């Protein structure tokens, strides 16, 4: 009888972890992949919204950063992870 209890416990644990994976981990991985694709598809002259809510236009792309014009003659260097979204491309 104790072997059957262990088997049932292991089945419940496996089921629990499968549900956790399907409900939490997998959707987060999909969202992260979509975000990476969105960031890698940004080109010069694209409009972007920064995480702080500031709207701007990309003027230059570097390895790990973007140069974003946020006003006339005002450009800021923003880390690629600082881009919240590209208007018109949100899912």
Which contiguous run of DSSP H or E holds residue 74? strand 74-79
How far apart, in Å, are the Cα atoms of 57 and each of 22, 35, 51, 73, 91?
37, 18, 14, 12, 20
Distance CA 91, CA 84 (A): 12
pLDDT value, residue 89? 74
Examine the pLDDT at 37 and tell me if it is beyond 90: yes
Q: What is the pLDDT of residues 73-91, one digit of tens each?
A: 999 999 999 999 999 876 5
Q: What is the pLDDT of residues 41-73, one digit of tens each?
A: 999 999 999 999 999 999 999 999 999 999 999
Among the listed residues 91, 4, 88, the one whose alpha carbon sits nearest the alpha carbon of residue 48: 88
């Amino acid at each position: 009888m104790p072997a059957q209890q262990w088997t049932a416990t292991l089945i419940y644990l496996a089921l629990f972890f499968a549900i956790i994976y399907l409900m939490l981990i997998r959707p987060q991985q999909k969202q992260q992949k979509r975000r990476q694709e969105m960031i890698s598809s940004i080109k010069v002259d694209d409009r972007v919204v920064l995480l702080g809510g500031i709207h701007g236009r990309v003027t230059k792309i570097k390895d790990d950063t973007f140069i974003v014009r946020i006003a006339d003659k005002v450009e800021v260097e923003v880390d690629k992870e600082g881009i919240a979204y590209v208007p018109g491309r949100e899912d």
